[in-house]
């Protein structure tokens, strides 16, 4: 079964559209199938419970990217904390001003390289979540753009967040 239509020659924008479609189609199903487990784990694990959710949501689509030669351009370091096989906390931002304790936002980014090891752009992954109880107040979102430098990535994230607030 093909969950997305990834091809090795795709641009970052085309990958972004495929990833967005996958997230839109699967985020709620994964949540509903596992909600009781996540709610019971949240009092003990708090924010880490969202990592458990992402560990169920993202690997199928990330594996499809890898099968087609796409990978993170950044090497994982020994002390990095990576969830879902691709979201590195070192490459994420969470800002209180973007939400409230019951509707917070964490934004991850992944610089993507293709089979030829060319950096083709960045995937920005946003997840709304609550610090009060296990809840996803809004669907996760994907934004793809051609930038690959940390400074331009963080500027793009701030631009996206200013538009939504």
120 in Cβ contact with 113 (< 8 Å): yes
Residue 82 covered by a domain: yes
Tally the domains of the chain: 1
Residue 83 covered by a domain: yes
**pLDDT, mean of residues 37-45:** 97
Measure the CA–CA gap between 80 and 48, rounded to whole angstroms: 15
Residue 3 covered by a domain: no
Residue 68 covered by a domain: yes
Alpha helices in the chain (DSSP H): 12-45, 48-57, 59-67, 150-164
Instruction: Supply the pTM of this predicted model.
Output: 0.92
122 vs 105, residue with greater confidence: 122
Domain encompassing residue 97: 12-164
Q: What pLDDT is attached to residue 71?
A: 96
Whether residue 105 is predicted with pLDDT greater than 70 in this model: the reply is yes
**pLDDT, mean of residues 45-70:** 96
Residue 1 covered by a domain: no
Q: Above pLDDT 70, what percent of the chain?
A: 95
Alpha helices in 46-165 (DSSP H): 48-57, 59-67, 150-164
């Amino acid at each position: 079964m093909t969950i997305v239509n990834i091809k090795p020659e795709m641009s970052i924008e085309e990958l972004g559209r495929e990833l967005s479609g996958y997230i839109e189609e699967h985020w709620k199903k994964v949540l509903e199938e596992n909600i009781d487990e996540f709610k019971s784990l949240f009092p003990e694990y708090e924010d880490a419970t969202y990592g458990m959710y992402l560990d169920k949501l993202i690997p199928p689509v990330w594996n499809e990217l890898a099968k087609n030669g796409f990978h993170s351009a950044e090497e994982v370091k020994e002390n990095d904390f990576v969830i879902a096989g691709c979201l590195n906390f070192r490459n994420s931002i969470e800002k209180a001003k973007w939400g409230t304790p019951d509707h917070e936002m964490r934004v991850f980014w992944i610089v993507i390289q293709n089979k030829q090891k060319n950096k083709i752009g960045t995937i920005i992954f946003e997840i709304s979540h609550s610090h009060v109880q296990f809840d996803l107040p809004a669907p996760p979102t994907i934004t793809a753009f051609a930038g690959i430098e940390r400074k331009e990535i963080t500027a793009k994230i701030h631009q996206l967040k200013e538009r939504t607030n």
